[in-house]
Structure 1
Amino acid sequence: MDQRTIEPQTPGPASAAPEPARRPALRPRDAATLILVDRRGRAPKVLMGRRNPGLVFMPGKFVFPGGRIELGDRHMSVAGTLPDYAEAALARQVTRPPHHLGRALALAAIRETHEETGLLVGTRAYGPPEAVPTGWEAFRAHGVLPDLEALHLVARAVTPPGRVRRFDTRFFAADRRAVAAEEPGRVGPASELVELAWLPLAKARKLDLPVITRAILDELEAQIAVDFAPHRPIPHHFVRHGKRQRTFL
């Protein structure tokens, strides 16, 4: 999406400099993120990954694993469905939401978490899926079905205009105990994430974080405090007229 459009020039003095080319506004792509939370100790810990410094988008920043929806995410078998409150919130403030949008977003978060960290979130209680779409082969190999009931919807955030990438991201959380299998070797110098760390929220906030990741950590802490109660409001972060906004779905 590096195309540029040039505005028509208004006739003027020969010495007038041409207007610079303007970058067209990028439409945000649907994406999802999964925050893994370990609540077994005195203070909750979250899994953070540092992005490869060579990447164009947020190089070297610490983030949660995630990415955009892929075609196979709309067809993967699951062991359980999203809670009703999450399905309803995910459909709000979306123009003509596609069929099973929430399901596809939750599966994208689970698949991207595996691709970036090697962790497979789901259950082995029902045996391996009989057939899987592209991108989900590891789940069949390890006998894991993704379990959407294990996910909590935390927030939604849209990348501000003017960035090299724009995403309409939904943030989910899951307990560390929802990890059913692990594949080593996914993190390293040539990977999207070059390191992983389980950190208390206070230490995670001290990392080199994108602004929205820091905000989501605050949202997460508040929702952990109420044990992800289904009646809690789901925040929506975006930028309008150059100002950051926070509303609720």
Structure 2
Amino acid sequence: MNETAQQPGQQASRYPYRRPKDAATLILIDRSAARPRVLLGKRHDKVVFMPGKFVFPGGSVEKTDNKVPVAAPIPKELEINLLKGSPKIQSSRARSLALAAIREACEETGLCLGRKTTNAVAKLTGAWQPFSDAGLLPDPSSLHLIARAITPPGCVRRFDTRFFSADASAIAHRVDGVIHADAELVELVWVEIDAKPLADLHSMTRSVLGELEKRLAAGPLRHDADVPFFHFYGGRMHRDILPGVA
């Protein structure tokens, strides 16, 4: 299946061609109220990529992401979904993407998805240290793949981003002081998924929100749902479908 997705302002090529970097984003869903809410963060006005926009927390995959011990493995169905599409990736990369979503969310929002473990593990350092400090290991077992999107050519940064979702009940630890005037995200807001979009919501963020709203309206999130894949070719942004796990 293919649909053309209109993305204003993405057609002009202002920068030299760059190969997209693998990236991951985490959409946290709060179901405690009558209508689900999702967490969005406002990017600093001085950052290069999408300054001042409300986005889901996320960022590039790092080399160490695949080496971090976990409380539970990523679901096999999630791995299969991540391996679909082009360019192809390996299972180790699928794991890295899922863990990158968790790491970036913890770094940018202070909200960490993890689980306490009785197993003795090496102390985590760097961006993963908050998990060790709280006696946790990252836990990707509750993640679902909602969408994939590749930034069009001509942008200042290009990413091949996988949009994951997780229920807010999976948040096991909160790090204080992460959001402030000089941080990458200067504000966090919980927004009802069917509310009027924020004025500074990026067009792709809005598209992914629409996909998530349809998934939630159909019932609990499942790995066998189709996954939209937004990518640019023929001068336009297109919406293809990656079939969910049969």
Q: TM-score, normalised by structure 2?
A: 0.87
In the alignment, what sits opposite 1:238? Answer: 231
Corresponding position: 1:48 with 2:40: yes
In the alignment, what sits opposite 2:11? Answer: none
**Aligned AA for 1:140?**
S
Deviations 1:173-192 (A, max 9, x none): 00111000101110111000
Please tell me whether Structure 1 or Structure 2 has the larger radius of gyration of its CA atoms.
1
Inter-CA distance 169–151: structure 2 relative to 1 (3 Å threshold): same
Q: Does 138-147 or 45-54 show the bigger shift?
A: 138-147
Aligned-pair RMSD on alpha carbons? 1.7
Task: Tell me the distance in 1 between the aligned counterparts of 2:42 and 2:206.
Answer: 14
In the alignment, what sits opposite 2:192? Answer: 200
In the alignment, what sits opposite 1:32? Answer: 24
**Aligned AA for 2:23?**
A
Give 5+ residue unaligned stretches, structure 2. 1-13
Task: Give the SS at the match of 2:132.
Answer: helix
Task: Tell me the distance in 1 between the aligned counterparts of 2:155 and 2:182.
Answer: 24
Q: Does 95-104 or 78-87 show the bigger shift?
A: 95-104
Task: Tell me the distance in 1 between the aligned counterparts of 2:208 and 2:106.
Answer: 21
Q: How many percent identity over aligned positions? A: 44
**Aligned AA for 2:236?**
K
Deviations 1:102-134 (A, max 9, x none): 110011010000110111111125467433254
Task: Give the SS at the match of 2:162.
Answer: strand
Inter-CA distance 88–117: structure 2 relative to 1 (3 Å threshold): same
CA contact (8 A) 1:72 1:133 kept: no
**Aligned AA for 1:154?**
I
Deviations 1:7-33 (A, max 9, x none): xxxxxxxxxxxxxxx953100000000
CA contact (8 A) 1:126 1:145 kept: no
Give 5+ residue unaligned stretches, structure 1. 1-21
Tell me how far 1:43 sits from its aligned partner.
Answer: 0.2
Task: Tell me the distance in 1 between the aligned counterparts of 2:158 and 2:148.
Answer: 13
Tell me how far 1:70 sits from its aligned partner.
Answer: 0.8
Deviations 1:210-248 (A, max 9, x none): 111000000111111231122210110111122121111
Whose relative contact order is higher, 1 or 2, with alpha carbons under 8 Å and at least 6 apart? Answer: 2
Corresponding position: 1:65 with 2:57: yes
Q: Which runs of 4+ in 1 moved over 4 A?
A: none
In the alignment, what sits opposite 1:81? Answer: 73
The 5 Å alignment of 1:68-147 reads 68-126=60-118, 129-132=121-124, 134-147=126-139
**Aligned AA for 1:163?**
C
CA contact (8 A) 1:28 1:166 kept: yes
Task: Give the SS at the match of 1:89.
Answer: helix
Task: Tell me the distance in 1 between the aligned counterparts of 2:97 and 2:81.
Answer: 12
**Aligned AA for 1:47?**
L
Deviations 1:73-99 (A, max 9, x none): 010011112222221121112345234
How many residues end up aligned between the 2 structures?
228
Looking at secondary structure, tell me which structure has more strand per residue.
2
CA contact (8 A) 1:31 1:105 kept: yes
